[in-house]
Structure formats: C-alpha cells, structure tokens
Amino acid sequence: MKRTIMIFALTMGIVSANAQENKAVKESNGSEEKPTLTKEVYPQKEVDGDLYHGLTKKLTFDRMIPPHGLEVTYDKTVHIIFPAEVRYVDLGSPNLIAGKADGAENVIRVKATVKNFKNETNMSVITEDGSFYTFNVKYAKEPLLLNVEMCDFIHDGEAVNRPNNAQEIYLKELGSESPMLVRLIMKSIYKQNKREVKHIGCKRFGIQYLLKGIYTHNGLLYFHTEIKNQSNVPFDVDYVTWKIVDKKVAKRTAVQEQVVLPLRAQNYATCVPGKKSERTVFTMAKFTIPDDKCLVVELNEKNGGRHQSFVIENEDLVRANTINELQVR
C-alpha cells in the first residue's frame, strides 16, 4: 500500500511539472516580438537605366558612334558609296531591303519593302578597311539624298562625326593586324616608291614587270610591283597569279603548285597605256618557301600574248624589310 502511494505521488509530480513547462512556453511565444522586414539590398526594379541592379558601369555618350540619318522610300532606290569593299550589312527591320550593286563591291543599294512604315529603324555596315558605319533609317515619300558618298575615315574623327576613340573592326584573314593599318602601310609603300629589290623582274615585247620591294609587318608580307609599258600599244591586265612550284620537275612528273592569294591590293592596275607605267602593292599572309621550291609571279595580258613572269626565292623573302615608319601624305 505504501509503495502504491509513492508511485501515485511521483506520477502526479511529473504531470504537474509538464503542465507548468507548457504554460511557460505558451506565455513566452505570446510575448515574443515579430521580426521586422528590412528593404532588400538589390531593388526589384531598375531605376535610371542602371542595368543589373546598379552592378554594371553605364555606357556614356563618349562611347557611342553617332549614326548617320538616312531616308528611304518604296518607289526609289538609295545608293551608298563606301571607300572600301563592303563585308557585312545588318538591317534592323524587315521594312528594309539592301544589297550590293551588281559589279560593285563598295556600293550598297537600299529601299523600303513596304510603303509609309512609321517606326524608325537602323542599318549597320562593316567595310574591308575595318570601318564601322551605322545609320538611323526612316521612311520619306521623297528622300532628300538618293546617292550618298561616305567619306574616308583616315583623318580626325570630329570632321567625320566619328569619335576619336573608336576602335577598328578586325577581320579574320588579317590576323591581329588592323585593316586600317594595313591600308596605311600599303599607301606608304606606294607613296615612297623605293626600289629596294633590283635583281627580280622580266622584260619582253616592250613590257617590263618588276618587283621593287618586299616588306613585312606583324605577320603580313607586302610586295611592291611595277608594270612599265615601253610600247605604243596599251597593255590590258587579265590576271596576276602567285604560286609556289618545284624548281626542277622531271619529265612525266605531275607538277605540284600551291596558289598564294593576295589579301589586299593597293592601286591594282587593270590597264597600262603606251609609254606609261603603273605600280601595285599586294598584301599577303606570311609564308616561306622550301629550298627546292620557288614563288612564281605571272602577269597575263588580256586578249594578248605579252605575258610576263619572274621568280622569287626564299632568300629574297627572309630579307624582307621591316616597316618602322609610315609616310601617307
């Protein structure tokens, strides 16, 4: 009996203790203050043009290439003449259509595909010399300018509505060399008109074809050539080929030729009048010639037989002059 009373008293004590503990927890939860929500570090809305919640630097107006204004219409074609061959054209809207003029690599023709389109659009053009042009295009019943000539960019940016800090577009075939610098180098070689090489050339039928110099800069080779017509009959150039061939070819042996294509040409001559001369500067990717091969340059006359050719050895290539200064004026 005594043992039963002790067990009952112990059980009642445990129940009483649990009840007091639960009451204390309830009172504590009731008196606890709710946490206050603070403003997020990054706002949900972008304000004042701050992209990505203000974590990026704004583009300022000195980074902008100012666009040219251009008007187009449905019934007339607008032609734009660029100082170099066009390599890329992008139209901002299907309301425009554009393409190169037939037979001309530096002329773009633009017109509207629908009449009276309301929204202004844009057009971008990249040329072979690495220049970037941008236009804001709108519709006009009678465009003020139907034929536009874009000026050359080899001068101060303020005069051509172009920022002085604008960077040139780099093209794959020129590697790490700026197309604008390639153009300046060719102009400089052409203007200086030095004869650095005096032992390579060909003279037949009153026509003389000379190699005046070989230059190198930043992985590119420059060849300065001259055609002298000492006859009274004009010389029409059909094509010029550059190919690497074997020096000695045995009979009944297949001739292996590797054609080398010029990347650029300054003042490419197509016709040399009688008693006149013309010079051309060719730009090529860097290459060398094995000892058992040579580089053959062939000049072919159109509708004629006064063809010319000369040979360049590897020792001539490796002695190419390095370009350290430019002279373009």
User: For each of the chain's 329 residues, which pLDDT tens digit applies?
Assistant: 555 666 666 666 665 655 555 554 444 555 556 665 555 555 555 555 555 555 667 777 777 778 889 999 999 999 998 888 888 999 999 999 999 888 788 889 999 999 999 999 999 998 887 788 899 999 999 998 889 888 654 444 444 444 444 445 666 777 767 777 888 899 999 999 999 999 999 999 999 999 999 999 988 999 999 999 999 999 999 999 999 988 876 555 556 788 999 988 999 989 999 999 999 999 999 888 888 889 999 999 999 989 999 999 999 998 999 887 666 55
pTM tops 0.75: no
Question: What pLDDT sits at residue 296?
Answer: 92
pLDDT of residue 60: 73
Look at residue 155 in the predicted model and tell me its pLDDT.
45
Cα angle value 313/324/129 (rounded, 5°):
85
Render pLDDT for 240-272 as a digit per residue (tens, 0 to 9): 999 998 887 655 555 678 899 998 899 998 999
CB neighbours of residue 257 within 10 Å: 12
Q: In 161-320, at which residue ranges do the beta strands (DSSP E only) sit? A: 201-204, 207-217, 220-229, 235-246, 258-259, 264-266, 271-272, 277-285, 293-301, 308-312
Looking at the chain, the domain(s) classified CATH 2.60.40.1550 span: 64-169
Q: Provide CB contacts within 8 A for 292, sequence distance 6+.
A: 246, 247, 248
CA dihedral 308, 233, 270, 304 (to 10 degrees): -50
Query: For residue 219, what are the contacts with CB-CB under 8 A and spacing of at least 6?
Result: 175, 176, 177, 285, 286
* pLDDT on residue 165: 42
Q: How confident is the model at residue 166, as a pLDDT?
A: 46
pLDDT tens per residue across span 134-154 = 999 999 999 988 898 886 544
Q: Between 3.40.50.920, 2.60.40.10, 3.50.50.60, 1.10.260.40, what CATH number should domain 181-322 receive?
A: 2.60.40.10
CATH 2.60.40.10 domain residues, the chain: 181-322
pLDDT score, position 72: 94
At residue 17, the pLDDT reads 54
CATH superfamily to which 64-169 belongs: SARS coronavirus X4 (2.60.40.1550)
Question: Residue 292 has what pLDDT?
Answer: 85
